[in-house]
């Protein structure tokens, strides 16, 4: 039995607690700032408004404070949104935490001073001196995981023994883990697939969407290689696996469909998806300053087109 702390009470963090508990781990979850999730998790019923189900009684909720990080845990799981990474990075740096970390958060951050794109693990290491990090990515919808539908993910760490140790703590008959040393490639794939899901969603028939899928895979392969990842990662769970799930259903592909019908991003957001978070948009605005200036536009025309569509509110 291991002691696991999950930081982030959103859909994914809460859903992830279920296989952890089924492995007879003692799981504590905490939420730093989202009042809705704090109310969900602190209530007696533990009904999660995003997952639309009641979480296991064994799941222990603790009000977030810096002191909770000082306690002894075998694994700390970061399941915050991209916006929360700097917050938790500062907290971890101050306390010099050495506990193994598992990062569920997907995305990339643009370092303006260094004019460089950083993965989440790179950001934590470079800016906050946080080491011993693993990342977990793959085609995993939180609602399906919470219902115990069969799900496969990949845990990446250059130290493959650590990745496999984590896999042993979280794997179940329905939650299957694979392993990789290609941390950068896994993180790049898991982030940019949200942008390409929008691109694929813009195809207004199966033939067009299939063509865009194939071209998206080629661009992702180029970008993985550009950022020094293993290009073969595109063929795995974090690559075409995650891209497929995002393209078939989800908010990014839904937005892509509206773009394909001739709406601008702003008009589609206002008319159809006002309360929805479109992760691909957030990533596009974050990485655009680097992508548009540094990378050969002829190698990633789909990416460039979508970035300009969002930044300048143009029709795709």
Q: Is residue 306 one of the residues assigned to a domain?
A: yes
Instruction: Please identify which residue in the block is written with the tokens 């790179």.
Output: 122
Give the confidence band of 23 by pLDDT, cuts at 50, 70, 90: very high
* Residues 139 and 207 reside in one and the same domain: no
**How far apart are the C-alpha atoms of 12 and 10, rounded to whole Å?**
6
Q: What are 286-304's pLDDT values in tens digits?
A: 999 999 999 999 999 999 9
Pair 40, 54: CB distance under 8 Å: no
* Residues 121 and 28 reside in one and the same domain: yes
Per-residue pLDDT, 277 = 82
pLDDT beyond 90 at 35: yes
Q: What are 229-264's pLDDT values in tens digits?
A: 999 999 999 999 999 999 998 899 999 999 999 999
Instruction: Please identify which residue in the block is written with the tokens 């009904």.
Output: 47
**How far apart are the C-alpha atoms of 101 and 76, rounded to whole Å?**
5
pLDDT beyond 90 at 1: no
* Residues 61 and 11 reside in one and the same domain: yes
Largest interatomic CA distance in the chain: 56
* Residues 56 and 81 reside in one and the same domain: yes
* Residues 150 and 290 reside in one and the same domain: no
Tell me the average pLDDT across 16-40. Answer: 95
Q: Is residue 169 one of the residues assigned to a domain?
A: yes
**CATH number of the domain that residue 134 is part of:** 3.40.50.720
Pair 223, 188: CB distance under 8 Å: yes
**CATH number of the domain that residue 302 is part of:** 1.10.1040.10
Q: Is residue 187 one of the residues assigned to a domain?
A: no
* Structural domain count of the chain: 2
Give the confidence band of 98 by pLDDT, cuts at 50, 70, 90: confident
Per-residue pLDDT, 258 = 96
**How far apart are the C-alpha atoms of 175 and 190, rounded to whole Å?**
18
At residue 212, the 3 state secondary structure works out as helix
Per-residue pLDDT, 27 = 97
pLDDT beyond 90 at 47: yes
Q: Is residue 122 one of the residues assigned to a domain?
A: yes
Q: Is residue 186 one of the residues assigned to a domain?
A: no
- For residue 255, the enclosing domain spans 192-311
Q: What are 145-169's pLDDT values in tens digits?
A: 999 999 999 999 999 999 999 999 9
Instruction: Please identify which residue in the block is written with the tokens 């971890």.
Output: 92
* Residues 287 and 221 reside in one and the same domain: yes
* Residues 149 and 199 reside in one and the same domain: no
Per-residue pLDDT, 116 = 92
Tell me the average pLDDT across 18-27. Answer: 96
pLDDT beyond 90 at 225: yes
Tell me the average pLDDT across 36-50. Answer: 94
Pair 8, 104: CB distance under 8 Å: yes
pLDDT beyond 90 at 281: yes
């Amino acid at each position: 039995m291991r002691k696991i702390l999950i930081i982030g009470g959103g859909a994914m963090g809460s859903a992830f607690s279920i296989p952890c508990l089924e492995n007879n781990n003692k799981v504590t979850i905490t939420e730093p700032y989202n009042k809705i999730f704090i109310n969900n998790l602190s209530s007696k019923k533990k009904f999660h408004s995003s997952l639309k189900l009641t979480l296991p009684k064994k799941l222990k909720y603790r009000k977030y404070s810096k002191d909770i990080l000082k306690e002894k845990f075998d694994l700390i799981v970061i399941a915050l949104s991209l916006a929360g990474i700097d917050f938790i990075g500062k907290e971890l740096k101050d306390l010099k935490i050495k506990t193994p970390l598992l990062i569920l958060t997907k995305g990339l951050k643009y370092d303006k001073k260094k004019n460089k794109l950083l993965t989440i693990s790179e950001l934590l290491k470079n800016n906050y001196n946080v080491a011993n990090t693993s990342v977990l990515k793959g085609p995993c919808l939180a609602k399906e995981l919470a219902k115990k539908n069969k799900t496969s993910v990949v845990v990446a760490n250059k130290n493959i023994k650590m990745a496999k140790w984590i896999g042993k703590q979280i794997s179940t008959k329905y939650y299957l883990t694979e392993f990789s040393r290609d941390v950068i490639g896994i993180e790049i794939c898991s982030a940019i697939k949200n942008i390409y899901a929008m691109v694929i969603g813009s195809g207004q028939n199966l033939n067009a969407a299939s063509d865009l899928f194939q071209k998206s895979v080629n661009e992702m392969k180029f970008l993985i290689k550009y950022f020094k990842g293993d290009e073969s990662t595109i063929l795995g769970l974090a690559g075409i696996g995650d891209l497929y799930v995002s393209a078939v259903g989800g908010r990014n592909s839904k937005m892509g469909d509206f773009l394909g019908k001739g709406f601008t991003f702003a008009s589609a957001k206002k008319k159809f998806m006002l309360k929805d978070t479109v992760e691909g948009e957030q990533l596009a605005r974050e990485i655009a300053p680097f992508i548009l200036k540094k990378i050969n536009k002829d190698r990633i025309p789909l990416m460039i087109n979508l970035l300009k569509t969002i930044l300048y509110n143009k029709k795709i």
